[in-house]
């Protein structure tokens, strides 16, 4: 029996372990994909830690959300189809991207095409084995998208970083030329959001990050102004740069301080879209939410329809102008640790041929 290598962890926050397993035989609608690239994502860091911070010392344990050990991380997967069950039907050829946010497929949420919001999730790299592996089993061919002429290592980032930013940006709606969007956090998601906003024609983009190096990267991908969010009078500086016309804030950090800052910025009728999962809590006077008519929106990954939209958009535009490095699959453990410790500028992708 042929075996393959994967790198699961068996305890939260423990090292990933090289593991040899028998190669599965896909059945029914299942599709077997040989993994060539897999992005290392901040979501992987949170999953590896095993909890989300809720503020005031409270934690949301992922075991309570149906995540059981061992976990093989990796949901930004690009590879090639090498096998399928007898009910899989016609399959795409060439290099493909896997849509990882699998739902039950039968509930009303899934029927609306929002599998990513299913209450019985079966996401790859979360609830099912993911791409820190030589092979992955995909439940249904609908989750497989051809990448066309995209670079495979770059295309892997579209399954989470790209999809998450695309879905969050769509929630903003139309942005007029005199309006400003503020992006908090200039890591992989923030940089991709800035680039996407610029390509979609947004004229004024303000980027916030503690790191001067990341702020410089933000300017390189399309930001018009950057600020250190801890600097004196930062709100006044942002409002001056935005001409008090901040229509939306995209928060890719999602901590108590960043959300508090974000809520203070939009003009009346503006939106605060929270994506990051660093954790904490928000306290804000209810009358001000109403009188300012602001919307505070949580945005979680994106739908399969949005995934296909994004792949098409990426085929028409050069999205990836920020640093992307590759490492061999056997360096998955160190890559995850480096990301958790803030040592990755841009994105890192695991490579396996």
Number of alpha carbons in the 13 Å side-chain half-sphere of residue 82: 15
Residue 252: the pLDDT is 96
Residue 57: the pLDDT is 77
pLDDT along the chain (353 residues), means of 10: 92 96 96 97 90 77 81 98 95 94 95 94 95 98 95 95 96 97 93 95 97 94 97 95 96 95 97 92 92 96 97 94 92 96 90 90
Enumerate residues 6+ apart whose C-beta is below 8 A from 199.
Answer: 222, 313, 317, 319
Q: CATH assignment of 165-298? A: 3.40.50.720
pTM: 0.91
Say how far apart CA 155 and CA 319 lie, in whole Å. 10
User: CA–CA distance from 177 to each of 190, 206, 226, 235, 327 (Å)?
Assistant: 21, 14, 19, 21, 40
Asked, colleague to colleague, whether 3-160+302-351 and 165-298 share their fold, the answer is no
Domain locations in the chain as residue ranges? 3-160+302-351, 165-298
The partner residues of 33 in beta bridges, in order of sequence, read 81, 136
The two structure tokens encoding residue 232: 């004196």
Q: State whether residue 59 is helix, strand or coil.
A: strand
Enumerate residues 6+ apart whose C-beta is below 8 A from 337.
Answer: none
User: CA–CA distance from 12 to each of 4, 20, 46, 61 (Å)?
Assistant: 23, 20, 10, 10
Identify the CATH homologous superfamily for domain 3-160+302-351. Medium-chain alcohol dehydrogenases, catalytic domain (3.90.180.10)
């Amino acid at each position: 029996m042929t075996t393959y290598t994967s790198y699961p962890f068996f305890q939260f926050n423990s090292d990933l372990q090289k593991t040899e397993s028998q190669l599965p035989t896909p059945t029914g609608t299942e599709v077997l994909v040989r993994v060539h690239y897999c992005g290392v994502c901040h979501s992987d860091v949170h999953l590896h830690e095993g909890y989300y911070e809720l503020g005031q010392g409270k934690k949301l344990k992922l075991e309570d959300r149906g995540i059981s050990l061992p976990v093989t991380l990796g949901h930004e997967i690009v590879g090639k189809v090498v096998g399928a069950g007898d009910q899989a039907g016609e399959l795409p050829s060439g290099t493909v991207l896997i849509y990882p946010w699998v739902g039950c497929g039968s509930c009303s949420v899934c029927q609306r095409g929002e599998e990513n919001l299913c209450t019985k999730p079966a996401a790859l790299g979360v609830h099912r084995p993911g791409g820190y592996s030589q092979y992955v089993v995909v439940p249904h061919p609908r989750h497989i998208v051809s990448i066309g002429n995209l670079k495979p290592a770059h295309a892997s980032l579209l399954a989470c970083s790209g999809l998450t930013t695309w879905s969050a940006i769509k929630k903003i709606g139309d942005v007029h030329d005199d309006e400003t969007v503020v992006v908090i956090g200039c890591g992989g998601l923030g940089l991709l959001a800035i680039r996407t906003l610029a390509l979609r024609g947004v004229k004024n983009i303000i980027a916030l990050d503690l790191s001067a190096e990341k702020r410089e990267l933000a300017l390189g991908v399309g930001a018009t102004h950057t600020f250190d969010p801890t600097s004196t009078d930062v709100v006044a500086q942002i409002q001056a740069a935005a001409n008090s016309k901040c229509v939306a804030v995209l928060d890719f950090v999602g901590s108590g301080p960043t959300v508090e800052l974000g809520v203070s910025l939009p003009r009346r009728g503006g939106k605060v879209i929270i994506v990051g999962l660093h954790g904490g809590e928000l306290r804000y006077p209810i009358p001000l939410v109403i009188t300012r008519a602001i919307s505070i929106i949580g945005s979680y990954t994106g739908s399969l329809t949005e995934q296909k939209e994004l792949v098409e958009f990426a085929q028409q535009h050069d999205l990836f102008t920020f640093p992307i490095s590759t490492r061999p699959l056997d360096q998955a453990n160190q890559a995850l640790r480096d990301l958790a410790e803030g040592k990755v500028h841009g994105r890192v992708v695991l490579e396996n041929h």
